[in-house]
């Protein structure tokens, strides 16, 4: 067990500045209106820094810098850009603990996740796109004896990116790495709940990128996000966040006829077929582990397996074991490497989850474990903690249909394959899903029948850089990860030449 020192105390791996301006054109720039907002840590509820509260004027400054930088960056070769991305990956790796502590302090997630998953995945994203850009090929088509068509990839120019608070650094990386590799300049707006860990990252890599290629502007959605997404000076907007906000982003983009990537909400089914409980062996244990994934990252995951569907012939015994396992999950100080469940990212999010715990009870769902706020005592008593909660009910309840975004799973039973698919697809969303079966045929058929962009089969929650990720239905438009992303950040130029 290691307990990392809190920022601001002796031995801390990261030192936050007391105030963060915007990062524009390779330097810190104060917000035009001179306003800042306070940023509390969810770990102890106390304000640890203040951050630029930007408006449309700041977005314009960032767009000026991006437009100035875009032509030269776009003219670099894929090999040059790949090298820059590799160096960024190396720099992040050298500072893994600094970034992990910054992310934990800012978001409340357990440091073990940051050390083992969030930051290594972010690093791998830069490495993956450093290589992927060099594999991109153009094309030549012979039109007739005298005429040839050449296909080129060209950067879009300046792109806007808006990200949420649940994986601040990983979500930033999912957007920055492919856009940079493709040759674009970027204006990115982090979420107002988690504005600073990306600033720690920017400070670490500032010398590796030409000024103005990446600009970070902080602030609230309506004041800073909307002017960015609706600007006629961007050639694409990539957004991750709630479905309701995604609809607005698409409206803004339609005014300028620019492409959107929308990564939105989810209500993912995790389906356990009867053969899972044939034996209480390592497969069964793995399935229980997959069930418990609902509490990973405090449930603040767009693909959180928040609806567990279990065959009626095994549900009672399976739930007994699942409850016992959930009770053993270690909730505590997020800076302690033994902690498995930390704090919710903000007080607003805590209150939203608590309200859904009331809604579930009022709807008649049974609470099998959890169902309440947790006071960790001492200097963590003001932090935002909720006990992992298992509800048992049915799929028509609000707790099955609405995204809670907390460590809460709603469990229903099914009878037979067809009913499992019917319940799984009875949702507005279609992002993630899980299928657990010892029978390859059942698992394959379920994987094809579920209307979701990602189906994990006998596993859950892996995010390899080279696997396309994105939503069906109200969960979004477009994909992230995988080298197909490069096309989403480029134009195709067709040059028809007659010799």
Query: Which residues of this chain interact with ligand NAD, rule CB under 6 A?
Result: 162-166, 171, 189, 191-192, 220-222, 225-226, 229, 240-242, 245, 248-249, 263-266, 302, 403, 405, 431, 471, 476
Cα angle at 165 between 161 and 167, to 5 degrees?
Answer: 90
Give the shortest CB-42-to-ligand NAD separation in angstroms. 14
Distance CA 402, CA 466 (A): 30
Q: Which is nearer to ligand NAD, 183 or 266 (CB)?
A: 266
Strand-pair category, 307-311 with 269-272: parallel
In terms of Cβ atoms closer than 10 Å to its own Cβ (0-12, 13-18, 19+), residue 472 is middle
First to last CA, the chain: 71
Q: Which is nearer to ligand NAD, 176 or 335 (CB)?
A: 176
Strand-pair category, 214-216 with 185-189: parallel
Give the shortest CB-391-to-ligand NAD separation in angstroms. 19
Give the shortest CB-54-to-ligand NAD separation in angstroms. 11
Give the shortest CB-432-to-ligand NAD separation in angstroms. 9
Residues 482/467, Cβ–Cβ less than 8 Å = yes
Q: Which is nearer to ligand NAD, 107 or 442 (CB)?
A: 107
Q: Which is nearer to ligand NAD, 249 or 368 (CB)?
A: 249
Q: Which is nearer to ligand NAD, 311 or 480 (CB)?
A: 480
Give the shortest CB-353-to-ligand NAD separation in angstroms. 12
Distance CA 305, CA 303 (A): 6
Q: Which is nearer to ligand NAD, 275 or 402 (CB)?
A: 402
Q: Which is nearer to ligand NAD, 393 or 430 (CB)?
A: 430
Dihedral angle at the C-alpha atoms of 428, 430, 435, 441, nearest 10 degrees?
110
Q: Which is nearer to ligand NAD, 189 or 438 (CB)?
A: 189
Based on its alpha-carbon atoms, the radius of gyration of the chain, rounded to whole angstroms, reads: 23
Q: Within 13 Å and on the Cβ side, how many CA atoms surround 86?
A: 11
> In sequence order, what are the residues at sequence separation of 6 or more whose Cβ sits closer than 8 angstroms to the Cβ of residue 312?
413, 414, 415
- Find the helix or strand (DSSP H, E) in which 400 lies: helix 398-401
Dihedral angle at the C-alpha atoms of 442, 444, 446, 447, nearest 10 degrees?
160
Distance CA 475, CA 459 (A): 21
Alpha helices, DSSP H, located in 182-309: 197-205, 226-229, 243-256, 282-292
The residues that are catalytic are: 263
Give the shortest CB-245-to-ligand NAD separation in angstroms. 3
Cα angle at 434 between 429 and 438, to 5 degrees?
Answer: 150
Distance CA 96, CA 90 (A): 10
Distance CA 316, CA 326 (A): 15
Give the shortest CB-436-to-ligand NAD separation in angstroms. 22
Give the shortest CB-224-to-ligand NAD separation in angstroms. 7
């Amino acid at each position: 067990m290691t307990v990392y020192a809190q920022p601001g105390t002796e031995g801390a791996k990261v030192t936050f500045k007391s105030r963060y301006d915007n990062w524009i054109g390779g330097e810190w720039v104060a917000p035009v209106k001179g306003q800042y907002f306070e940023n509390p840590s969810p770990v102890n509820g106390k304000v640890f820094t203040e951050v630029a509260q930007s408006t449309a004027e700041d977005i314009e400054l960032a767009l000026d810098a991006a437009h100035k930088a875009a032509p030269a960056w776009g003219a670099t070769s894929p090999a040059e850009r790949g090298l820059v991305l590799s160096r960024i990956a190396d720099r992040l790796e050298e500072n893994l603990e600094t970034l992990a502590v910054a992310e934990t302090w800012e978001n409340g997630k357990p440091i073990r996740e940051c050390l083992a998953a969030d930051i290594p995945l972010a690093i791998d994203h830069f490495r993956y796109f450093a290589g992927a850009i060099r594999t991109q090929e153009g094309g030549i088509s012979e039109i007739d004896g005298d005429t040839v068509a050449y296909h080129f990839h060209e950067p879009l120019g300046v792109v806007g990116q808006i990200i949420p608070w649940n994986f601040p650094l990983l979500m930033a990386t999912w957007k920055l790495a492919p856009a940079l590799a493709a040759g674009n300049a970027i204006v990115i707006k982090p979420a107002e709940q988690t504005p600073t860990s990306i600033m720690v990252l920017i400070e670490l890599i500032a010398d590796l990128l030409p000024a103005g290629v990446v600009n970070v502007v902080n602030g609230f959605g309506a004041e800073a996000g909307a002017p960015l997404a609706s600007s006629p000076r961007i050639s694409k907007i990539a957004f991750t966040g709630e479905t309701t906000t995604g609809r607005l982003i698409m409206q803004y983009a339609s005014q300028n006829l620019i492409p959107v990537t929308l990564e939105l909400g989810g209500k993912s089914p995790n389906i356990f077929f009867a053969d899972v409980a044939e034996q209480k062996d390592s497969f069964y244990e793995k399935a229980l582990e997959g069930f418990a994934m609902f509490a990973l990252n405090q449930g603040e995951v767009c693909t959180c397996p928040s609806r567990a569907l279990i065959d009626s012939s095994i549900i009672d015994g399976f739930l007994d074991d699942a409850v016992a396992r959930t009770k053993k999950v270690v909730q505590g100080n997020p800076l302690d490497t033994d902690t498995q469940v930390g704090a919710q990212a903000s007080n607003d999010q805590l209150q939203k989850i608590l309200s859904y715990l009331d809604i579930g009870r009022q709807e008649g769902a049974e609470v099998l474990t959890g169902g309440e706020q947790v006071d960790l005592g001492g200097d963590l008593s003001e932090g935002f903690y909720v006990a992992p909660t298992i509800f048992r009910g049915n799929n028509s309840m609000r707790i099955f249909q609405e995204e809670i975004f907390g460590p809460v799973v709603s469990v229903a039973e099914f009878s037979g394959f067809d009913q499992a698919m019917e319940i799984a697809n009875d949702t507005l969303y279609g992002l993630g899903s899980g299928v657990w079966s010892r029978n390859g045929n059942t698992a394959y058929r379920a994987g094809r029948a579920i209307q979701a962009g990602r189906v994990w089969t006998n596993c859950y929650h892996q995010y390899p850089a080279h696997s396309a990720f994105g939503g069906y239905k109200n969960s979004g438009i477009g994909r992230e990860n995988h080298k197909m992303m490069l096309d989403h950040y480029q134009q195709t130029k067709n040059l028809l030449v007659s010799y």
